[in-house]
């Protein structure tokens, strides 16, 4: 009788331990999937804002008020996603996301003030942003366990 009770206890404990491990693994997978979706949304918002900046930088005819409003509207989605990312991502991703955000914000401000694509200042802003964006994608991939392979997109 004692061996049956001990055997039942071992089986119950083993099943509980396996269930706990499965729950923990599923929870980790869910966290990664949540961050993957957030990272994708943030990168997409940055890309849309960056593209709008590039288009505006090539349009010297746009009235200043319209230019400013357009670039600010394009940048708006980045703000809320940045806050979401700041509470969901590890510190090393948040730090790089903040740097990328600030560099894009600098481009936004310069475009709103009338900076055009043929200036050295614009080229400097773009280079700084492109470097920060590449680093951001790299740390995001590392966080998601996707390795450190760096792709190249240009906007």
Instruction: Summarize pLDDT for 121-155 with one digit per residue, the tens.
Output: 999 999 999 999 999 999 999 999 886 444 444 44
pTM to 2 decimal places: 0.78
Please answer whether residues 73 and 56 qualify as being in contact, where contact means their C-beta atoms are separated by less than 8 angstroms.
no
- pLDDT tens by residue, 74-106: 999 999 999 999 999 999 999 999 999 999 999
Please answer whether residues 10 and 56 qualify as being in contact, where contact means their C-beta atoms are separated by less than 8 angstroms.
no
Closest CA to 41 of 119, 114, 123, 97: 97
Please answer whether residues 100 and 132 qualify as being in contact, where contact means their C-beta atoms are separated by less than 8 angstroms.
yes
State whether residue 113 is helix, strand or coil.
Answer: coil
User: How many residues can be counted in the chain?
Assistant: 155
Q: What is the separation of C-alpha 23 from the centre of its chain, rounded to a whole number of angstroms?
A: 27
Please answer whether residues 110 and 125 qualify as being in contact, where contact means their C-beta atoms are separated by less than 8 angstroms.
yes
The predicted pLDDT at position 15 comes to 79
State the DSSP string of 61-100: TS-HHHHHHHHHHHHHHHHHHHHHHHHHS-HHHHHHHHHH
């Amino acid at each position: 009788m004692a061996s049956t009770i001990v055997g039942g206890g071992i089986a119950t404990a083993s099943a509980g331990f396996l269930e706990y491990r499965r729950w923990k693994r599923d929870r980790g997978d869910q966290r990664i999937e949540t961050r993957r979706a957030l990272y994708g949304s943030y990168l997409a918002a940055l890309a849309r804002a960056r593209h709008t900046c590039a288009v505006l930088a090539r349009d010297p005819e746009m009235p200043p008020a319209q230019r400013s409003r357009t670039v600010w509207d394009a940048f708006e989605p980045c703000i809320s996603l940045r806050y979401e990312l700041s509470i969901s991502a590890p510190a090393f991703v948040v730090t790089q996301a903040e740097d990328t955000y600030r560099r894009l914000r600098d481009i936004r401000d310069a475009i709103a003030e009338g900076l055009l694509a043929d200036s050295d200042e614009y080229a400097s802003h773009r280079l700084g942003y492109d470097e920060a964006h590449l680093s951001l994608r790299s740390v995001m991939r590392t966080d998601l366990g996707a390795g450190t392979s760096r792709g190249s997109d240009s906007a």
